[in-house]
Amino acid sequence: MFEIIRRDGLARIGRFETRSGVLETPALLPVINPKICTVTPRELYDEFGFRAIITNSYIIKNTPELRAKAQEAGLHDMLDFPGIIMTDSGTFQSHMYGEVEVTNEEMVEFQKSIGTDIGTVLDIFTEPYWTKEQTAESIVTTLRRTGKACDIKGDMMINGVVQGSIYPDLREDCARKMADMDVDVHPIGGVVPLMEQYRYLELVDVILSSKKGLNPNRPVHLFGAGHPMMLALATLMGCDLFDSASYAKFARDERMMFIDGTYRLQDMQSLDCNCPACRGLTLESLKKMDNRKKTATIARHNLYQITGELALVKRYVREGRLWELAEMRCRAHPAMLDALRRLGEHQEFMERYDPISRDGAMFYTGAETRGRPVFKRYSERIVDRYIPETDKAALFYDEGSKPYSKARPADFDRVRRAGYTPVIVSPFGPVPAELDEVYPVAQSVFPKMEDTDTILESESLTVRFLECKFAETVNGNDVSDDGTEEHDPDTIRAKAVSRYQFGIQATEALFRGRIDLVISRKTGKIRNVISDGEHVLSMRAGDGLYTLKKEGADRIVSAIPAPFMRVAVMDDAVPFVSEGRNVFCQFVTECDKDLRPMEEVIVTDKSDKVIATGRMALVADEIKSFKKGVAVKVRSGAGDEA
């Protein structure tokens, strides 16, 4: 059972329940070579806090002493590891050394017999140099073997490995078929050569095409990925599990992992590491250690780099800032920068899972930041959903101080009196003054010295926007001060934000008849929208977006047919949700596919009656596939509305 606790991008902090305990994801499983324990499993558990490890059942099976011990005492006792043990099946050995002389059934049965928690099918490793035909054929075999493994797995969990070399369509198709099988975890396999060859750009396509086909309710394991440098990016793309043999392999070659790469001890100029393994050591004292101790020290250092980075990745997910961390990490190597740039080309897919707002400001880290989904969402919404009050625009330029209407109230008043709509050219592109407090416009920090990419992109978005929305554009500074047109900036803002957030049709339903606004006396900001005497919306100060009230929800439901903005629940859940309890996945019968995480949502019963309003915790396809977890954070039920 897998449950999402927090999310950011495609990243999730999850709870994965197994018979040997619960694993919080993202997690990395250190690889244990049962023949050489560089760091013992017990130390991994007690000292480093690893709750899961991975070892190789093929090696155990082919080593008579190990085999006998594992079958007698069980894997957990043999390794002295009280947590979760995953085993691999010999596929990696076939990649390294050619054919292995075991069958799939034999390997699955063996893994069961030694008490593995999560076993692996004997999948076929699809090499990046393979032809498409060869790859497609081998996937058929992997799928057949996976089906067989599911039949005989008993109470062992099983890894259903997504293969497909570098062919996105084969990856997606394989993933879709794996998703339909009774497997428990989805490793993405066949990627080790891509990582060894620094082909991170292709790795992005491989991961995302696999993710497109997979069922979101199972953890995704990136097989063979364990370098701290890539954890942030891979987590952002929705990988939940990782494994690392490198921490020990590199240690034996005297290579130290750092967040910006791997360094050979002999090439290092200094040892400036404060991890518990290195503390108190100098480069000289480390070099002089006897070999055993040196290997153990470097292995421990490597593990601390991994645990440190993983903790940081989790913190950034919790803070909703994983894009920022991934962008920083991808500067460590040009091949990683390629991966980040490629990820920007998958903006449309990433946008479906990207939260509508977040706490705190978003930081711009460089031109690649434009590849984040928020940029695409903003530029699409102002084209699709914005309706100007007048057909003349007066342009101003972002001078760093935000929100813009607080920075230059006199200028905006002057052009409005002359019948113009103030539009600010910002790094997001054009911002009509009435949208200047909406996330992410006001809640973002850009450097004062703009880069050429941002200037050009912003200009081209502005030109397109002005062409489709206005008949005339002038420079805001050229507009004279003698205009006398009446205008009401608060009402213009109230409607514009609603259209931006809920669309044009819903806004017509919400803003009907007489409109009264409650304005905060302290901040001057809109607090509540009252339409024909009904409180329909409240505006949040933090992200400048609305929360939807019961009356507002009723109007949308009357005006626009389901499933627009709705999550419908079963009868069983109605009494609880009406009282303000959250909606859990298993009670949802239908859900609007256009709703994004954190978006306002209307909870209805089966006859489309409003029973509550709240915010989306997951998106439609996730809700459909999860058996557990919160789907909607309910703000207030219809039953307890004052």
Q: Which residue among 78, 143, 161, 234 contacts ligand GUN (CB under 6 A)?
A: 161
| Residue 88 bears catalytic tag | yes
Q: Does 120 bind ligand GUN (CB under 6 A)?
A: yes
Minimal distance in Å, beta carbon 312 to ligand GUN?
A: 25
Q: Segment contacting ligand GUN (CB under 6 A): 184-192, 410-418, 438-446, 463-471?
A: 184-192
CA distance 93 to 88: 10
At 615 the three-state DSSP class reads strand
Residue nearest ligand GUN, CB atom distance:
189
**Residue with Cβ nearer ligand GUN (192 or 526):** 192
Helices (H), 320-451: 322-329, 334-344, 347-351, 373-385, 404-407, 409-417
Rounding to the nearest 10 degrees, give the CA dihedral for residues 566, 567, 571, 574: -90
- Asked if residue 190 binds ligand GUN (CB under 6 A), the reply is yes
Contact flag: residue 189 with ligand GUN (CB under 6 A): yes
* Chain residues that interact with Zn ion, rule: CB under 5 A: 273, 275, 277-278, 301
Pair of tokens at residue 502: 């809920």
Closer residue to ligand GUN (CB): 78 or 192: 192
Question: Of these, 45, 110, 125, 130, which contacts ligand GUN (CB under 6 A)?
Answer: 125
Phi, psi of 511 (to 5 degrees): -105, 80
Q: Does 88 bind ligand GUN (CB under 6 A)?
A: yes
CB of 276 to Zn ion, least distance (A): 8
* Cα distance between residue 566 and residue 561, in whole Å: 10
Partner from ligand GUN, Zn ion, none contacting 92, C-beta within 5 to 8 A by type = ligand GUN
Residue tagged 């063979």 (tokens):
224
Q: How far is the CB of 337 from ligand GUN (least distance, A)?
A: 25
Please choose which of Zn ion, ligand GUN, none residue 25 contacts, taking the beta carbon within 5 to 8 angstroms, the exact cut-off set by kind: none
Q: Which does 41 bind (CB under 5 to 8 A by kind): Zn ion, ligand GUN, none?
A: none
Q: Are 55 and 22 in contact (CB under 8 A)?
A: no
The DSSP result for 376-412, as a single string, is: HHHHHHHHHH---SSSEEEEEE--S-SSHHHH-HHHH
Interacting residue with ligand GUN among 223, 511, 587, 626 (CB under 6 A)? 223
Helix 200-213 crosses helix 168-179 at what angle (to 10 degrees)? 40
Check if the beta carbon of residue 188 is closer than 8 Å to that of residue 239: yes
135 vs 537: CA distance, rounded Å: 54
* Interaction partner, residue 375 (ligand GUN, Zn ion, none; CB < 5-8 Å by kind): none
Cα-Cα end-to-end distance for the chain:
38
Asked if residue 192 binds ligand GUN (CB under 6 A), the reply is: yes
> Among residues 57, 91, 473, 582, which is the contact residue for ligand GUN, using CB under 6 A?
91
User: Taking CB within 5 to 8 Å according to partner kind, which of ligand GUN, Zn ion, none is near residue 119?
Assistant: none
Cross-sheet strand order for the sheet of 630-637: 583-584, 630-637, 610-616, 600-604, 566-569, 588-591
Helical (H) or strand (E) element with 226: none
Nearest CB to ligand GUN, comparing residues 156 and 537: 156
For ligand GUN, the closer of residues 177 and 358 by Cβ is 177
Active-site annotation holder among 88, 173, 184, 240: 88
CB of 187 to ligand GUN, least distance (A): 6
| DSSP-assigned states of every residue in 5-67 | EEEETTEEEEEEEETTEEEEESEEEEEEBTTB-SS-HHHHHHTS---EEEEEHHHHHTSHHHH
Which residues contact ligand GUN by CB under 6 A?
A: 88-89, 91-92, 120, 123, 125, 161, 189-190, 192, 223-224
Q: Which residues are catalytic?
A: 88
